[in-house]
Amino acid sequence: MKLIEKSQYTVLKGNYAVAHGVRLARVEVISAYPITPQTTIAEKLADMTATGELKARFITVESEHSAISAVIASSLAGARSFTATASQGLALMHEMLHWATGARAPVVMVNVNRALAPSWNIWTEQTDSLAQRDTGWIQIYNESNQEVLDTTILAFKIAERVYLPTMVVLDAFILSHTSEPVEIYPQELVDEFLPPYEHPNAINFDDPRAIGAFARPEYYMEFRYNIQKAHEEALRVFKEETELFADMFGRKYDTVEEFMLDDADYVLVLAGSTATTAKYAVAQLRERGEKVGIMRIKLFRPFPVEDVRRVLSGRKKVAVIDRNVSFGHSGIFYMETRAAMYGAKDRPPIFGYVAGLGGRDVRPQDIIDIYEDMKRREEPENIIWKGVRV
């Protein structure tokens, strides 16, 4: 019997899919501070470590800043390390996110996308994680609970090959608190995919060394260059590991997902769980004979410039639907997509839409409205607000 046939199909919430991914990755140190809607990840992992289902040390802390600090240290000590947060908690970690990258600590974190305050709001929006764009973390966005579990496992493999911290992102409630079928793989199969973590310069009390040393101008720039090179390598590693994952687990992921794109003149671009509803809407548009498809961005950092160009070049028009906003400019995936397309051959006009902020529902009709609005427009605009009351 093949190992994969020992998988168990069950029903899990997104947050519990995270916890099972962490368990299967044999994480050794966890530190987290509770915040809605991430709390049930921390609770489940505390439960798993208490019962011995997961042989890890759970370090309780007084803040998110301390949680990320603890796992940076444990990662540098040679232990596979994990944390999870959302929104304000991620914002509080900001200083240490740079630190994790600079120290080349391959920590994995799950961020449950939640809108930032004020006004207080616990519902989904991607601005919290996207605002951490320049901290040097790998960022991977997800559409389903299965993908969340799979990506949590993948994240450790990728992070530990390139020594970069990695953030796995899922939407508040729409994934975190929604139950749906998930396949949980046998431990032996995950062990084959993900070998134990070893840090070549792990903290060793018998051979002490300095970490986070001072770097004067004649050295600092080389460290930064190496981080950029690691991100370029991460793009290749992401491709390799998702292919290996597909061979072993039967699920194929890529930097971008292509849906109904054959012969598509028009493309909708988005990330995260809104893609499910968008696929439903696009299938309806296809029934009406509209030549439209979807490109879902899964990998945000490193940004998959070549794949984005390959998919979008030669199309008639593109609409990017952002569940986030960079005030003073536009939606963030829009900005990134436009930047990637600059200089590409046969570049289509790209229209930027912002929708669903603070958890406002994005329904199939909203997607259809956006598609029709894009078709009507002649000149691209940076920021078109969908459904806002003004």
Partner 1 sequence: MIEIRIHGRGGQGGVVASEILAKAFFKEGKYIQAFPHFGVERRGAPVAAFVRVGEPGSLFVRTNIYEPDHIIVLDPTLLTAVNVMEGLKPGGWIVVNTPQDPEELVKEVGIPPMYKVATVDATAIALKHRLGSKMSPIVNTAILGAFSRAFGAPSLENLLAAIREEAPVKPEENAAAAKEAYESTKILIPQEV
Q: Which is nearer to partner 1, 246 or 283 (CB)?
A: 283
Q: Which is nearer to partner 1, 125 or 241 (CB)?
A: 125
Choices 149-157, 178-186, 293-301, 344-352; region in contact with partner 1 by CB under 8 A: 178-186
- Footprint of partner 1 on 2-61 (CB under 8 A): 11
Choices 59-67, 68-76, 150-158, 167-175; region in contact with partner 1 by CB under 8 A: 167-175
Residue 123 near partner 1 by CB under 8 A:
yes
Helices in the chain by DSSP H: which ranges?
A: 14-24, 39-51, 64-76, 87-102, 127-130, 145-162, 187-193, 217-249, 274-287, 305-312, 332-341, 364-376
Total chain residues near partner 1 (CB under 8 A): 23
Rounded Cα distance between 53 and 335, Å, is: 44
**65: burial class by Cβ within 10 Å (0-12, 13-18, 19+)?**
middle
What does the block give as tokens for 76?
A: 């540098």
Residue 292's DSSP bridge partners are: 266
Q: Are 128 and 97 in contact (CB under 8 A)?
A: no
Q: Which is nearer to partner 1, 227 or 283 (CB)?
A: 283
Fill in the amino acid letter for 147: E
Among 180, 192, 232, 240, binds partner 1 (CB under 8 A): 180
Q: What are phi and psi of 342, to 5 degrees?
A: -65, 125
Q: Which is nearer to partner 1, 219 or 280 (CB)?
A: 280
Q: Which is nearer to partner 1, 173 or 197 (CB)?
A: 173
Residue 179 near partner 1 by CB under 8 A:
yes
For the CB of residue 10, give the shortest distance to partner 1 in the complex, in Å: 8
What does DSSP say about strands 29-32 and 81-85: parallel, antiparallel, or unpaired? Answer: parallel
Among 352, 138, 367, which Cα is nearest to 275's?
A: 367
What does the block give as tokens for 93?
A: 């970690």
What does DSSP say about strands 57-60 and 8-13: parallel, antiparallel, or unpaired? Answer: unpaired
Choices 62-70, 105-113, 173-181, 232-240; region in contact with partner 1 by CB under 8 A: 173-181
Q: Which is nearer to partner 1, 13 or 301 (CB)?
A: 13
Q: Which is nearer to partner 1, 173 or 238 (CB)?
A: 173
Q: What angle do CA 85, 88, 89 make, to 5 degrees?
A: 35
Rounded Cα distance between 9 and 22, Å, is: 17
- Footprint of partner 1 on 269-288 (CB under 8 A): 273-274, 276-277, 279-280, 283
Which positions from 345 to 364 touch partner 1 by CB under 8 A, shown as an x/- string? --------------x-xxxx
Q: Which is nearer to partner 1, 59 or 283 (CB)?
A: 283
For the CB of residue 339, give the shortest distance to partner 1 in the complex, in Å: 28
Neighbours of 140 (CB within 10 A): 26
Residue 87 near partner 1 by CB under 8 A:
no
Residue 252 near partner 1 by CB under 8 A:
no
What does the block give as tokens for 142?
A: 């997800």
Q: Which is nearer to partner 1, 123 or 333 (CB)?
A: 123
Which positions from 127 to 166 touch partner 1 by CB under 8 A, shown as an x/- string? ----------------------------------------
For the CB of residue 385, give the shortest distance to partner 1 in the complex, in Å: 19
What does the block give as tokens for 202?
A: 């792990």
Rounded Cα distance between 202 and 28, Å, is: 14
> How far is Cα of residue 138 from the mean position of the Cα atoms in its chain?
8
Q: Which is nearer to partner 1, 222 or 287 (CB)?
A: 287
Rounded Cα distance between 298 and 242, Å, is: 12
Residue 250 near partner 1 by CB under 8 A:
no
| Beta carbons within 8 Å of 36's beta carbon, 6+ residues apart | 86, 114, 122
Among 29, 174, 270, 384, binds partner 1 (CB under 8 A): 174
Residues making contact with partner 1 (CB under 8 A): 11, 122-123, 172-174, 177-181, 273-274, 276-277, 279-280, 283, 359, 361-364
